[in-house]
A and B are shown apart, each in its own frame.
Chain A
Amino acid sequence: MTLAGGVVTGADQVFVLLKHWLVARTPGPLQALVSILLTIIPIIVVFPALFAVTTVLERKGLGRIQNRYGPNRVGPFGVFQPLADAVKSLTKEDIVPRSADHVVHYLAPLVLVAASFLAYAVLPIGRNMTAVNLDAGVLFFFAIGAGTELAVFMAGWSSRNKYSLLGAMRAIAQMISYEIPLILSSVAVVMIAGTLSTVKIVEAQARYSDGVAHWYVFTPWGLAGFILFMIAATAETNRSPFDLPEGESEIIAGYFIEYSGFKFALFFLAEYLEIFAVSGLGITLFLGGWSAPFSFLTWIPSWIWFFTKLLALIVGFIWIRGTVPRLRMDQLMNFAWKFMLPMTLVVIFAAAVWRFLPHGVAGSAAAGLVVRWLVCALVVAGPYVLLARGLERGRKIEKRTYRYAE
């Protein structure tokens, strides 16, 4: 190994080596505990910090999208706004409705945050930087993700408020509807990679041929799958344009209407943690996790790649939020069952086509790739066009007439 190679590996593995160094210096009986803490604490620190950064980024970004400045009062360019928000939410009164189910009302935000944090256990943040390398990592992620639905319903039900209950019902309907395309689009990846382990999925993508990584997003089915996955992820995390559970104009704040102070902040935190986690899974499944897109960029540490991709996806989320208006409930359900579900099935089929087409045509791997690409793209694009036409044909857009009571 050359010196430069050593430095690159050192930068890549700096946190792993640091952890090993620290664990080696603790007395034997404590080593397991210290190892666990050193794995968990960075996750508990880094992602809420990212949440703080994201809130100010989001508010400034949305402001600019609407030709405003956004927050610029606290500190230079408003960068200390999250601190002010934290102080505000900590000092606010925590109000619990008298008729609420106190225990469940108290537990709901905790369960939500805990479930959101648990999802990070299987995310490969960098090379050798996965908290738990589970054989069924993807399955674990979705199983834990379902825990957030439970917490949402706990919040909505225990508040004893009609709006919070409506919001919770909406949230459950939406989350369950979109969980199906979310899981089905990742099934394609699991099929191709042949494993449910997030670590192995990333390793399968961290190979290079002709200098380009084997990211699944670089294949037709992977691209379609990634877009579907991100749409479903947006709905799954109740982000705009799928933020019906907290539609201000109809049900004020949805399931967390009766939460104030720090509990409200916890809901907010959990929402963003879910966004990061599901973005992290999207990165893991389609964007090659911590791997570089081109082989000449592999000298950049893996964890930088992961967080760069994460930030890019967050920017995408913010951009979408600043662009698309909220859907109606029937539009939301139609979109999930009439568009997302068929398209994810098509993606699974396309992935199978990609897998079983001959990898070389007439002895040429390049020609084989082109043929595979074209066939696969057709398999995805054809149903998309047909589906889009079919969905738009039945829809008559006409001037709405209002009839008033006599």
Chain B
Amino acid sequence: MLGEGIIQGLVETARNFFGSYVEKERLTTVEYPEEQLPLPEASRVFPFLLYDGADAEKGLRCVACQICEKECPPRCIHIEKSKDKKPDFVGKPQAYPAVFDIDVSVCMSCQICVEVCPFDAIRMDKQFELSTSDRFGGLLWTKHELAKSNEYYRQIHPVEAAETDARRAKEMADAKAKAAAAAAAAAAKAAATPPAAATAAAGPATTSAAAASHGPAGNGATGNGVTGNGTAGNGASANGAKAETAKTVVKP
């Protein structure tokens, strides 16, 4: 009958109208500033710099290698390398960024900087409320604004952070083991060399001319020490390669 469909429609909309006051699950609206949906693990907005420990300046992982700066498609990263060096997490002296700026308004959230970083120093943040009333200074973030702690990273990307932390722990353990091995090797070398050292030490005691002739022998002993260090270095590079393979396996 003509008009029947309209009556059915009116009943349906009336049910929606009254139902929306009774059943809360009908209203799918999330009233944004007051309530927020949890963001998915993989969500990403803008990169930040990771630091270990409590001090952002000291613990900053970035070594100012500038790979991200070169890879950034919209070129929103600006890095100036430091003149001096500071030890990294395995104790190796590394440069650090004297200046590290990212332009929020230029960044396109592509995550390429994260993909290329060999030092796990830059990661993507989930924070998306980046608007500011100052569109010039307020949108250029320096390294102080970019630096976020590893705890924060664990909080926003738990799965990714756990994987990074495990890899870094392994690297650190390897480095320690290597250092221990190097120390042990040095100690063994030191134990093996005493006679030569004794003659070298005795040499100067006899005559000053003999001391001059014994000089090369002493040099040879130190040369041996260097070779020992060299093998230790090889070990370290092998470890580094292993770490690299581990990294490539984890990262698809």
Contact = CB atoms under 8 A, between A and B. Distances in A.
A64 B24 CA distance: 12
Interface stretch (A31-39, A66-74, A361-369): A66-74
Nearest to B8: A323
Interface stretch (B25-33, B47-55, B126-134, B199-207): B25-33
A7 interface: no
A392 B2 contact: yes
B27 A319 contact: no
A50 interface: no
A392 B31 CA distance: 46
16 contacts: A64-B16, A64-B17, A67-B16, A67-B19, A69-B29, A72-B31, A319-B13, A319-B14, A322-B17, A323-B6, A323-B10, A323-B12, A324-B9, A387-B2, A388-B2, A388-B3
Q: How large is the interface on B (under 10, 10 to 19, 20 to 34, 35 or more residues)?
A: 10 to 19
Contacts of B234: none
Given A67-B20, A67-B26, A388 B1 contact: yes
Nearest to B33: A73
B187 to A, nearest CB: 74
Contacts, number: 45
B9 A323 contact: yes
A254 interface: no
B6 A324 contact: yes
A69 B10 contact: no
B21 interface: yes
Contacts of B31: 69, 72
Contact of A319 (B10, B21, B26): B10
A61 B3 CA distance: 23
Given A64-B20, A68-B27, A322 B13 contact: yes
Contacts of B17: 61, 64-65, 319, 322
A388 B1 CA distance: 7
A329 interface: no
Interface string A78-115: 00000000000000000000000000000000000000
Contacts of B19: 67
- Complex A-B, nearest 3 residue pairs according to Cβ-Cβ distance, in ascending order: A388-B2, A323-B9, A323-B13
Interface of B: 1-3, 6, 9-10, 12-14, 16-17, 19-21, 26-29, 31
Q: How large is the interface on A (under 10, 10 to 19, 20 to 34, 35 or more residues)?
A: 20 to 34
Contacts of B2: 339, 384, 387-388, 391-392
A163 to B, nearest CB: 29
B16 A65 contact: yes
Contacts of B16: 64-67
Contacts of A65: 13, 16-17
Interface in A354-406: 384-385, 387-388, 391-392
Contacts of A384: 2
A68 B10 contact: no
B202 to A, nearest CB: 93
Contacts of A69: 27, 29, 31
A68 B13 contact: no
Contacts of A391: 2
Interface string A302-343: 000000000000000001101110000000000000010000
A70 to B, nearest CB: 10
Nearest to B19: A67
Given A64-B21, A319-B13, 17 more contacts: A61-B17, A64-B17, A67-B16, A67-B20, A67-B26, A69-B29, A69-B31, A319-B17, A322-B13, A323-B6, A323-B9, A323-B13, A339-B2, A384-B2, A385-B1, A388-B1, A392-B2
A78 B87 CA distance: 59
Contacts of B28: 67
